[in-house]
Amino acid sequence: MQYLDNILFAILLILGIGYFATNCKKLIRNIKLGKDINRSDRKSERWNNMAMIALGQSKMVKRPIAGFLHIIVYVGFVIINVEVLEIIIDGLFGTHRVFSFMGTFYNVLIGSFEILAFLVLVSVLIFFARRNFIRLKRFIHSDLKGWAKSDANIILYFEVVLMTLFLVMNAADFHLQNVNGGFMHFHSAGSFPISQYIAAVFEGVPNTTVYVIERAAWWLHIIGILIFLNYLYFSKHLHILLAFPNTYFANLNPQGKFENLESVTNEVKLMMDPNADPFAAAPTPDENAAPAKFGASDVQDLNWVQLLNAYTCTECGRCTSVCPANQTGKKLSPRKIMMNTRDRLEEVGKNIDDNKGIFVPDNKSLLNDYITPEELWACTSCNACVEECPVNISPLSIIMDMRQYLVMEQSAAPMSLNAMMTNIENNGAPWQYSQQDRLNWKNEN
């Protein structure tokens, strides 16, 4: 019975990390459903991108208040969880504050953790107020409802509970350390600039009761961390992990530059040079291969970086808040584009899980069932959403690929676009004037 707690802790740890690893494998599998794309170039720029944007939060601080509070929560949550390593060692081997041998450095470390925990609590409460009482427009937008709306609050509850448990655990620990001679194995270790004031409530409380409170807070804290870890897969807070690869593999080309389709380029070359050999640059066709598909109608037609984008989306709504189409009442919301892509990808992944690793057609697609042509054609392709995203997500790339499918596979462009393309074909310009009358516009005023 002496080692029962350690055995239970080890089992809990194995189950928690094992479930997390299983979901990570599923996540990687789903992202790999996308088409291949090479993002291994310009490595130094990519490392710099990741360091500045994911680690340095450089795009978050464009909105100073939210950015500053987010940095506190981000730094606090990451650094405070360094203590999780000590908790794991203590839990497995029955020790008490195993890193306390570091002396003064340890005291500074624990003191810093406490101050950060308090600042995280304050920041999270401000975030909660902004979302639920002040009700900023991007948090009550029509595209953010149901689970997407509840998820943000659940995360805030989690953080409040975890930071509170951390401080209560330390307060009880501090009290037991200062009992004459120390209670049981609670030797003097650490500095407690915040929880020492909380410890005042334990004055006059039996030491055994305080010990039970300390143990309960300790267990609930580590269980809460493991629950939170496994909740990430189902939450928008998956960006805590994915922001790093997402910024590393982001598109480094100038915004607005799109990749040319080789097949279309070859057609244009033939039009420009009728004497060119149409088969000179063409690879030998594979008779069994499916014909090439232009654009994207479902998630499997997108590339894996676009699918990574979908999982990384924080649902913060900054993209939608600066979208000119959305601001003028159009149906388009870049945030919804990313959320819908992730929802469809999850549906496809579940289909594969249910059918022993094979996707069985379900008569659904990202286009129409999740994202409508009306949304796609509302986009002005201005790149405002891409510029605003704090983790370098590109809703525009998905929109343009789906537009390409509508035009090149379904011939389903809007009438205004068809008219423009007809004018270009006939008149060499988007307007209806013939080439001889091209300057007539100046006489209309």
Assigned domain for 51 exists: no
**Is residue 70 domain-shared with residue 157, that is, in the same domain?**
yes
> Does the residue 407 lie in any domain?
yes
Q: Count Cβ atoms within 10 A of the Cβ of residue 339 and give its class: 0-12 exposed, 13-18 middle, 19 or more buried.
A: buried
Residue pair 214/169 in contact (Cβ under 8 Å)? The answer is yes
Domain that holds residue 95: 4-31+63-248
Q: Which residues pair with 371 in a beta bridge?
A: 367
Contact 321, 397 (CB under 8 A): no
303 plus 202 within the same structural domain:
no
Assess whether 171 and 276 both reside in one domain: no
**Residue at 374 is within a domain:** yes
- For residue 431, the SS3 value is coil
Q: What is the DSSP string of 176-245?
A: HHTSTT-STT-------TTHHHHGGGGTTS-HHHHHHHHHHHHHHHHHHHHHHHHHGGGSGGGHHHHHHH
Whether residues 339 and 361 fall in one domain: yes
pLDDT computed for residue 2 by the predictor: 55
Residue type for position 251: N
Per-residue b/e over 143-155, b at no fewer than 16 CB within 10 Å? bbeeeebebbeeb
- Does residue 273 share a domain with residue 237? no
CA quadruple 256, 308, 65, 318: dihedral, nearest 10: 50
Q: Which two three-digit tokens encode residue 356?
A: 């022993």
The pLDDT averaged over each successive group of 10 residues in the chain (445 residues) is: 79 94 95 93 94 91 88 82 83 84 87 91 92 88 84 90 92 85 72 90 89 92 92 90 94 84 75 69 56 86 96 93 94 95 96 93 94 95 94 95 92 85 83 75 64
- CA 19 to CA 23: how far, in whole Å? 6
Same domain, 121 and 193: yes
The CATH number of residue 268's host domain is 1.10.1060
Q: 414 and 312 share a domain?
A: yes
Annotate 214-245 with b (16+ C-beta within 10 A) or e (fewer): beebbbbbbebbbebbbbbbebbbbbbbbbbb
Encoded tokens for 157 = 């509850």
Residues 221 and 107 in one domain: yes
Query: Which DSSP string corresponds to 118-179?
Result: HHHHHHHHHHHHHHHTS--GGGS-TTS-THHHHHHHHHHHHHHHHHHHHHHHHHHHHHHHTS
Instruction: Report which DSSP code applies to 280.
Output: S
| Residue 53 placed within a domain | no
Residues 28, 29, 33, 37, CA torsion sign:
positive
Determine phi and psi for 303, rounding to 5 degrees: -85, 165
Looking at the structure, tell me whether residues 298 and 338 fall in a common domain.
yes
Residue 23 is assigned to a structural domain of this protein = yes
Last residue of one domain, picked from the residues 248, 273, 308: 248
Same domain, 138 and 229: yes
For residue 25, is it within any domain? yes
- Rounded CA gap, 399 and 278, in Å? 31
| Res 145: pLDDT | 83
Which residues, including other chains, have CB under 8 Å from residue 210's CB and lie 6 or more apart? 172, 175, 176, 183, 202
Question: Are the C-beta atoms of residues 345 and 154 closer than 8 Å to each other?
Answer: no
pTM of the entire structure? Answer: 0.86
179 phi, psi to nearest 5 deg: -65, 145
Q: Domain count of the chain?
A: 2
Do 216 and 274 reside in the same domain of the chain? no
What pLDDT does 358 receive?
93
In a domain, 43, yes or no: no
Q: Is 141 left (phi over 0), alpha (psi -120 to 50) or beta?
A: beta
Residue 76 is predicted with a pLDDT of 81
Q: In this predicted structure, what is the pLDDT of residue 182?
A: 61
| Cβ atoms within 10 Å of 445's Cβ, excluding its own | 4
Spatial separation of the C-alpha atoms in residues 127 and 213, rounded to whole Å? 29
In a domain, 425, yes or no: yes
SS3 label, residue 247: helix
- Check whether residue 300 and residue 276 sit in a common domain: yes
